[in-house]
Structure 1
Amino acid sequence: MRPIRFATAALATAALSLPLAATSAAADAPSDLRTAPRAKDQHERLRSAAPDGFYVGTAVAGGGHHLEQDYPDPFTSDREYRKILGQQFNSVSAENQMKWEFIHPERDRYDFEAADAIADFADRHRQVVRGHTLLWHSQNPEWLEQGDFSKEELRSILKEHITTVVGRYAGRIQQWDVANEIFDEQGNLRAEENIWIRELGPEIIADAFRWAHEADPEALLFFNDYGVEDDNAKSDAYYALTQELIAEGVPVHGFSAQAHLSTRYGFPGGLEENLRRFDELGLETAITELDVRMDLPESGVPTDAQLEQQADYYQRTLSACLAVEDCNSFTIWGFTDKYSWVPVFFEGEGSATVMTEDFARKPAFHALYNTLLDAKKKDCKKHWKGWKKDWRR
């Protein structure tokens, strides 16, 4: 085996270490539970509103399409962005920085600089980290996709990668998306697109979970995909595969729906029921990449009605997760339109996050905050009643 070189130069800790301070208030929104801004809006923090044991997170902008934009890396260069990132969330996910093309750019070299910076930031701000992702058909480096490897070499490459990356962050990453987007919309394995499944067969999926578990026995290991919010062919395929793997003793711990939604389409009304059926298998569930894009008017500014519909989608997604016992992780895919991936990949659509480009809070932000706060109050009342009942005994 060739020697492995690690690029681990740390980003300046002082530049990324910021105090928890308040942000500016958002504009007024319609006054109901989903969207009403409360008094002293600038002090509202999603992480503080969340019930105990519930993680509300965001993707950390960087890598990917950001490299082609006319701004420097958001996470390392935008102080206001980092301040809000630390204030609002108790969970973070690397948007691109832990994907193969960034963390393993050459066969014998890993580059952990960006991923380390995110993990260090999370440590300083008392946040957990979701690792994303280990086995995927997309964003693989050229050396891997165009290499002439035997099956034995490919298997060794994947095992080494999972062991090295997961092992490096053992004890620091709460959840890993082990297998990402392995089924198509018809519920068939992506056998042609996915180099691992194509060359090594579907059995490699179970091996990936086993290797990840060996590298960090404490991390929760997930299947993750888009288009699985409802009970459909794709989510059925995950349901069947998960049952098979559990029966075989494979360490699969969770199933997560990305939830990249659009107001072009109706809300996935079966979300709660779909998450619950995985929960009943004994799995954790999660929402991992929520955003709600919309068709923008010529002005580029969404209407009040569009913002209200978007807030409704955010609120209903969060409520579905909160209603399922072991749905304990809820992540939005970026919190500001300034760095959203949506306009780059969906022409004519945008305004998909909970804050504008200048970090003003949209009705969707208040929808999440008020729903979390309401759930926290109910949770406190339930515990209070239980304590009083026990005390009286």
Structure 2
Amino acid sequence: HEQRYGPLTALAPADLLRTAAESGLTGRGGAAFPTYRKLASVAEAGRRTGRAPVVVANGSEGEPASAKDKTLLRLSPHLVLDGLRLAAEATGAAEAYLAVEEGAAHLEAAVAERNDPVPVRVVRVPGRFLSGESSALTQHLDGRAALPRHHNPPVREQGVHRAPTLVQNVETLAHLALIARYGADWYRSAGTPADPGSVLCTLHVPGHTPRVVEAPYGLPLHRLLPLHGTSAVLIGGYHGTWIPAHRAAQLALSATNLGAGVLAALPADRCGPAETARVLRYLALESAGQCGPCLNGLPRIAAAFRTLAAPGPQGTARDDIARWAGLVEGRGACHHPDGTVRLVRSALTTFAPELDAHAHGHCTATDHTPVLPVPENRS
């Protein structure tokens, strides 16, 4: 690891925060929040409360269509652990965790090879969609069910053991480790002024095994994802958006549209509404079921969309979905309803011609083989 990247540069916390700010590094877990602000807020909460913070490297990756974090942890675990060490030093943390769904033995071996000032504990988390949500993860680390809690107080103020807690995606930490070594200018040499650096993406191309690639922000999407014979592209994963292929051909990678880093091409001979219905049923079943929007709203939306996905009379399904989407958005204990609504609305727009064909009893798809990965036991 050190032969490849060089030794980890020792930086004072203030210097690391300044370098992270100058680099423009943002989170790779989906929210694209500035990393230096997250680090600074946890450090400040620790000083204000007199409680030593806790840092958590989030490698749970509950998104079924994403493999970037698992791949990174398999190939470069020490880069992630370097970033976790830096985060612990920057925040003044006394405890550090690496949360994963799989590969714990491999990662524990990597941890044992090191002598970090703050010991790292590798923790297995349940393989569920919401297990990696920050408050669900801190709940799990405290020995409770891995379910999201309401956002007040936020985990940066009160997380694991009620201490200020940093939950940071493992890819973000790997970038932080490289920035500490090579500097902000090096990081900004890739990407765009608005979105500097590179990003890991999981590509789903018809007829090929999904693969993970690293690409600079600003790269045209069609350079990564072949669009010939494609009707639509799912960008950002199951909390992302569907867009028509002709629009995807004009897009470039950006922090605002990539979400979990998933890019999936829908072949022109497949049914977009049917694929969406499968995902929505999965998302409804994966909800924590502890607030009204998830307990009542998402199952109704999923059921109504199944009506749209089948050729035949649709009744009031489209209007019902639009109304229910407005009712659940922004009202959940976490952002699961919001992400689901984002997917639904994009599907209603992108697949409007196909939905009209369904309403007249016809589906244009000639191949009904599923495209998107949905765990069978909950699909």
Q: TM-score, normalised by structure 2?
A: 0.29
Work out which structure has the larger RCO, using CA pairs closer than 8 Å and 6 or more positions apart in sequence.
Answer: 1
Q: TM-score, normalised by structure 1?
A: 0.28
